[in-house]
Structure 1
Amino acid sequence: MKALIIGAGIGGLCLAQLLKKNGINVQIFERDSSPSERMQGYRLHLDADGISALQESLPNELFQLFEATSTNPLPYTTILDTGLKLNKRFPIDSYSKTEHHVESGVAKHLNVNRSTMREILLMDLDDVCNYGAKLESYKTDLNGVTAYFEDGRAIEGDLLIGADGTGSAVRKQRAPEANFMDSGARAIYGRIKTDQARKVLPDLCMADVFTAVSDVRKLILGVGPVIFPVRPEAAAQSLGINKSLSPQDDYLGCIVSGRKEFFGSTDQEIRKKTSDELQQLAVDLLSDWPSNAAAVPAAGEKDSFFYIEMTSSIPFTLQSHPNVTLLGDAIHTMTPSLGRGANVALRDAAILGKELIKVFRGEKKLAASLKEYEAEITAYGFDVVRKSAEKGTKLLGQDPLPC
C-alpha cells in the first residue's frame, strides 16, 4: 500500500510517522519550499488526545524527546480581571470540555513549542518529504489515485489524504459542498521571553496552562508558558539520542484577540503591517485598561508578532469515498477558544493510521476503513467545532455557527 499525504503540518506528519513505523510506504507533499517558510504559531496546548496520538505514532526515542522538551503546566485555565488580579481558576478539562478524559483516567496536559514539536515529527522522514509540491488536482479509479502537482509531476498511490489545512486543495475537490465561515474574531500573536514576562505578569501566568484577561467588550489578553524542562538543543544528547533540535528560549505565547471591528482597519490593511506595527496595535488596544496591561505585549520579542483571521468550518455530512480522505483542519477547522485544534488533528491521524494498518495487514478493505474513520472523525470533530464556536461566541463575541 502506498499512501500520499498532502500537507506537512502536525497531523500529516503524525500520520506519516505511524505509517512508516508500521512498514507502510508513505510520501508527503508540502507546498511550502521548506519547513520554516511560514509563521505557524508558538505555544500549543496538548491534552490526552494529542499526547496519546503522538505516543502511538512516534518511535519510542522520539516520543521521549517530545516529553523532555514539553512543559508540564498546572492544569488550569485562569481568568484575571483587567487589573491583573485573580478572578477565577478553572480546571482545564472543565474549561476545554474534555471532562471525559478525567472520567476515563487519562487526563494529561502539556504546553509545547510548536516548532520544536514539528522538528521532532519531521525526524527520520527526510526520505519521504517532498517540498515545493503544490497539488493542483487528483484523479481516482478502482486501482488508486494519481496526484497532479503544479510542477508537472504525476504521482500514483493507493490512497490520498488531505492534511493540507483550512485552504485544503484536496477538500475543494473531495467535498466541494463543505463551507467555512469568517468567525468575525481576530488576533495578534507574539512571544515574550520569561525574564521580561516576570516583570509585567503575576507568577501564576508562568505556571498554568493558560491565563486570560477580558474586558466588557470581550477583548482578551491571553498568555501561556513554554518553559523547557530540558533545552531543545541539549535534550537529545541528554537522552543518548543521535538527533539535534534548534535552540529555543523559555517564553510565554501572547495573544490579543477580539471582534474584528476593534482592530480599526480592514484585514487587507492589517496583513500589510510589520511585526512592530502589530505589536504597537496590541499595546494600543489595551491602553485604556486600569492596570498596566499594555506593558505585556510591549514586552514582547521583536519581530515575533503576526495577525490571524479566525475561521470555522460549518458542520456537514461528508459523503464516503473509496480512496481519498481528509484530516484535521482540512475537514474541521475550529476557532482556538478551547485550545483543541491540534489535539483533534493528532487524534484524526492516530485513528486513520490504525485503520490503514489493518488494511495493510489484510484485515479490512480500504473503502470500509475510510468510511469508518470518516464517520468517527466527523462526529467527534464537528462536535468540537460546535463547542469551540459556542465558547468563542461567549468569550470573544465571535459570530455563531449557522443553524
Structure 2
Amino acid sequence: MSTDMKVLIIGSGLGGLSLAQSLRRSGVPFEIYERDSTPFDRSQGYRLHLDGDAINTVGEVLTPDLQALFKETSQWTEPYTSIMMPKSLRVVKRLLTKDDLGQGVWPNTGDGTLIHANVDRATLRRILLSGLEDSIHFGKKFERYKILAEDKVIAHFVDGTSATGSCLVGADGVNSHVRVQRAPNLATMDAGITAIYGRLPAKAVQELGPKEALEDIFLIASDERKVFLGLGSVIFPTSPHEAANELGLDIELHPRESYVVCIVGGRHEFFPEAHRKATSAELQTIAASLIEGWSDNAAPLVRTGDSESFFAVHMRTSVPNTLDRPANVTLLGDAVHSMTPSLGRGANLAMRHGALLGRHLKRVAGGQGSLANELAAYEASMLEYGFKVVREAAEIGRQRMDQIPLDNVVDA
C-alpha cells in the first residue's frame, strides 16, 4: 500500500465520516477538516430514516463493536410510509418502502428482506466519529484549494493554515465551498418549501396519534393547500449511553429518551415573514396554527413538543448536471446531490457514496488503479445514482407538498 497517499476530507457530516471510517479500516491516511468548533455546534435535525444503502454502509465501514452499538440504538421499523387523513389523523394507506440499491453495490444483502431503521442523527454521528478523534480538526473553515500535481492538492483555510494531500473530497454540505470551485456549473435551487421541525414525547404521540406513528418509517398527512404534517419516531431499544456502557465502549453518548419528530411544512407563502426571526417556542406556535383546522388532536399534538426543539428549514435541492474537468478533487453527499426529504434518502446516499469512494481510494493506495481513473469511476456511479434519486425526490415533493419542479430553476 502506498505510504504517500493522504486524503483530505472537508466536512464531517455523515458522508464524510462514512468515507473516513472506510479509509480507517483500509489503513489509508486521511485528515478531516470541519468548520464548526465542535461536533455539536449546529442543529441538524433529529430523526433519520436509514434504508439498505446506509445500513450496508454501517456493516462495511464500522468496526464490529461500533456496528453493535448502532444496532442497539436503532429502531427497526415496519417497512411502510403511511398516509394519514388530516381530519382524523387516522392511517388510511400504508405504502411499502422498497430499497433500490443498484447493481453490484452491495453484493451480500441477504435474503431480500426489507430492512429499515429510524435513528437519532446526533447518536449516529457520534458513532461515526468514534475512533477518528486524532484525525479530525475543528474550527477549520475551508477557503480554496490549489491543484499542484495529478496526485497533490493543497487546501487553504480562512485562519491562514493549509493542508496538503493526494486528493481532496468536498463533503461540506449543500452550501459547499468546494463545489463552487470544483464544479461551478452545479447549482442548487429553492424548492419553494418551508418546514418547521420539532421533537414530541413518544408518550404524547401514543395518546394523541395513530399507533403506526411508533411503528412505521414515517407518517404524513396533507390538506388541500398541501400543507403537511409528518411524524417519524425514534424508539431506542436501549438508551444510547446505556448501550455504550453495556458494550464496554468508551464513547460518550448523551442520555436520550425516545421521541417522535414532527414536521409541519408547505409553500413559503403559508408561513408568516416573522418566522425567519422567531424563537423555538414561537415556531411551535406557528406550526400548530397551520394545522389548527385539522383533527382535534393535530394542533394539540404539536403543542406537546419540547418548546426549545423547534427550528425552521427553507428547503433546497440540487439541479442535476454533469461533473466535468476530472481532477483530484471530488464531491460527496449534499455537496453534489442535496434533495428535499420527501423520500428520506439524503443521508442514505451520502453514506453509500462515502463507502463507495472509500473502496476506490483503497484501490489507489494498494496500487490497483490510478487516482484519476478511480475518481472518474466513482463520479460516474455517484452522479448517475445520486441525480436519479434527486429527480425522484423532487417529483414526490411536487406531488405531496407542491415543491417547485426541477425544470423551474430559481434562485440558483
TM-score range with shorter-chain normalisation? over 0.9
- Match of 1:196, SS state, is helix
Structure 1 equivalent of residue 77 of structure 2: 73
- 2:47 aligned with 1:39, yes or no? no
Kept in 2, the 8 Å contact 1:21–1:57? The answer is yes
User: CA, structure 1 residues 236+107, in 2 after alignment: closer, same or farther (shift >3 Å)?
Assistant: same
Q: Partner amino acid for 2:224? A: V
CA separation in 2, counterparts of 1:86 and 1:184? 27
**CA offset at residue 104 of structure 1?**
7.7
CA RMSD of aligned residues (A): 1.7
CA separation in 2, counterparts of 1:198 and 1:245? 26
CA separation in 1, counterparts of 2:300 and 2:28? 51
Structure 1 equivalent of residue 9 of structure 2: 5
Q: Partner amino acid for 2:53? A: D
**CA offset at residue 214 of structure 1?**
1.1
Structure 2 equivalent of residue 209 of structure 1: 217
Kept in 2, the 8 Å contact 1:206–1:225? The answer is yes
**CA offset at residue 106 of structure 1?**
5.7
**CA offset at residue 290 of structure 1?**
4.1
Kept in 1, the 8 Å contact 2:74–2:118? The answer is yes
- 2:127 aligned with 1:123, yes or no? no
Q: Partner amino acid for 1:140? A: I
Structure 2 equivalent of residue 187 of structure 1: 195
2:56 pairs with one of 52, 56, 59: 52
**CA offset at residue 292 of structure 1?**
2.6
- 2:373 aligned with 1:390, yes or no? no
- 2:9 aligned with 1:20, yes or no? no
Structure 2 equivalent of residue 343 of structure 1: 348
CA separation in 1, counterparts of 2:91 and 2:19? 41
User: CA, structure 1 residues 18+106, in 2 after alignment: closer, same or farther (shift >3 Å)?
Assistant: farther
1:25-174 aligned at under 5 Å gives the runs 25-82=29-86, 83-93=88-98, 105=112, 107-142=114-149, 143-174=151-182
- 2:307 aligned with 1:302, yes or no? yes
CA separation in 1, counterparts of 2:382 and 2:246? 38
User: CA, structure 1 residues 47+31, in 2 after alignment: closer, same or farther (shift >3 Å)?
Assistant: same
Structure 1 equivalent of residue 364 of structure 2: 359
Following TM superposition, where does structure 1 have runs of at least 4 consecutive aligned residues deviating by more than 4 angstroms? 96-104
- Match of 2:133, SS state, is coil
**CA offset at residue 131 of structure 1?**
0.5
Q: Partner amino acid for 2:41? A: E
Kept in 2, the 8 Å contact 1:84–1:291? The answer is no
CA separation in 2, counterparts of 1:298 and 1:30? 35
CA separation in 1, counterparts of 2:285 and 2:100? 34
CA separation in 2, counterparts of 1:243 and 1:397? 42
CA deviations 1:308-339 (Å, max 9, x no partner) are: 01101100011142310000000001110000
CA separation in 1, counterparts of 2:335 and 2:182? 11
Structure 2 equivalent of residue 318 of structure 1: 323
- 2:243 aligned with 1:238, yes or no? no
CA deviations 1:36-82 (Å, max 9, x no partner) are: 11000000000000111121111111111111100011111111101
**CA offset at residue 99 of structure 1?**
10
CA deviations 1:9-62 (Å, max 9, x no partner) are: 011011101101111111000001111110000000000001111211111111
Kept in 2, the 8 Å contact 1:320–1:371? The answer is no
CA separation in 2, counterparts of 1:21 and 1:355? 14
**CA offset at residue 302 of structure 1?**
2.0
CA separation in 1, counterparts of 2:37 and 2:246? 32
| Structure 2, unaligned runs of 5 or more | none
CA deviations 1:76-111 (Å, max 9, x no partner) are: 111110111221111122xx7679999982631000
- Match of 1:337, SS state, is coil
**CA offset at residue 147 of structure 1?**
0.3
CA separation in 1, counterparts of 2:239 and 2:28? 33
Q: Partner amino acid for 2:143? A: E
User: CA, structure 1 residues 30+50, in 2 after alignment: closer, same or farther (shift >3 Å)?
Assistant: same
- Match of 2:342, SS state, is helix
User: CA, structure 1 residues 290+202, in 2 after alignment: closer, same or farther (shift >3 Å)?
Assistant: closer
CA separation in 1, counterparts of 2:283 and 2:102? 36
CA separation in 2, counterparts of 1:388 and 1:202? 26
CA separation in 2, counterparts of 1:99 and 1:77? 21
Structure 2 equivalent of residue 280 of structure 1: 285
**CA offset at residue 295 of structure 1?**
1.0
Kept in 2, the 8 Å contact 1:48–1:106? The answer is no
User: CA, structure 1 residues 62+255, in 2 after alignment: closer, same or farther (shift >3 Å)?
Assistant: same
Give the structure-2-normalised TM-score.
Answer: 0.94
CA separation in 2, counterparts of 1:86 and 1:277? 29
Kept in 1, the 8 Å contact 2:341–2:393? The answer is yes
- Match of 1:338, SS state, is coil
Structure 1 equivalent of residue 268 of structure 2: 260
CA separation in 2, counterparts of 1:103 and 1:332? 28
- 2:232 aligned with 1:224, yes or no? yes
Give the structure-1-normalised TM-score.
Answer: 0.96
Identity across matched positions, percent: 47
How many residue pairs match? The answer is 398
Q: Partner amino acid for 2:184? A: P
| Structure 1, unaligned runs of 5 or more | none
CA deviations 1:177-202 (Å, max 9, x no partner) are: 11111010110000011122222212
